[in-house]
Amino acid sequence: MKNNYQYIDPDFQYTNKNGVLHNLANIDNKMVLLAYESLHVSKRLQELYDKPIKIKGTTSLLTIHKYLFQDIYAWAGKLRTVNISKDGKPFFDGERFHTAFLYIDTLIAEYKKIRKTDRKALAHKLAEILDNINYLHPFREGNGRTQREFLRLLALEKGLILNLNPPDNIEVYERYMQGTIERDVPKLSSLIFELISKHLAPL
């Protein structure tokens, strides 16, 4: 699936003139940086699997992003200061982040009140949260990995296992991508319900 992102960054706040993101290792090659980033983020993800953090609200998005990308970018855990679009469709305007965070916090509060046994309601609310966080796209890089980990940790708090990018099932990732790109909450809800029910006894 293509990632045709466009960034409005005339002052090169995040990249050099070759388009390579400024990074702590001073890597000046996109492919080398991609490999370096993947290696370090995978290590940090495993650490969060071993020692999960509790989701307090949208501020935990920043905490997770900082943890995952701390070895690579000085701006890890900081909201983007440039606007982003994909295939001509803009993500949320960074100047209005505060309003969006407040709304997503209400969704998270609603999720936390749902009974652990009500999987359909939990799946639907997780899909709503995912849809809004993805539209927000609060970081210059690493949004997908951060939001998937955020959703995994929210599900874990209800005793549920949720992996939206399993290494042995590309179909799940493609359905997740399609659902987020199309902003199709029912499609995301169906996928999440299927995944969280897979590891549990039938209702």
Q: How many domains does the chain contain in total?
A: 1
Containing structural domain, residue 138:
5-197
Residue 30 lies in a domain: yes
Residue 43 lies in a domain: yes
Q: Determine the pLDDT at residue 9.
A: 63
Residue 143 lies in a domain: yes
Model confidence over 29-39: pLDDT tens digits?
Answer: 999 999 999 99
Judged on CB neighbours under 10 Å (0-12, 13-18, 19+), 70 is middle
Checking if the pLDDT of 97 tops 60, the result is yes
Residue 203 lies in a domain: no
Residue 163 lies in a domain: yes
Model confidence over 151-196: pLDDT tens digits?
Answer: 999 999 999 999 999 988 999 999 999 999 999 999 999 999 999 9
Residue 67 lies in a domain: yes
Residue 39 lies in a domain: yes
Residue 25 lies in a domain: yes
SS3 8: strand
Indicate which CATH number applies to the domain containing 162. Answer: 1.10.3290.10
> Smallest Cα–Cα separation from 162: which of 139, 111, 196?
196
Model confidence over 104-143: pLDDT tens digits?
Answer: 999 999 999 999 999 999 999 999 999 999 999 999 999 9
- Reading the block at residue 151, the tokens are 């959703």
Residues 42, 43, 48, 51, CA torsion sign:
positive
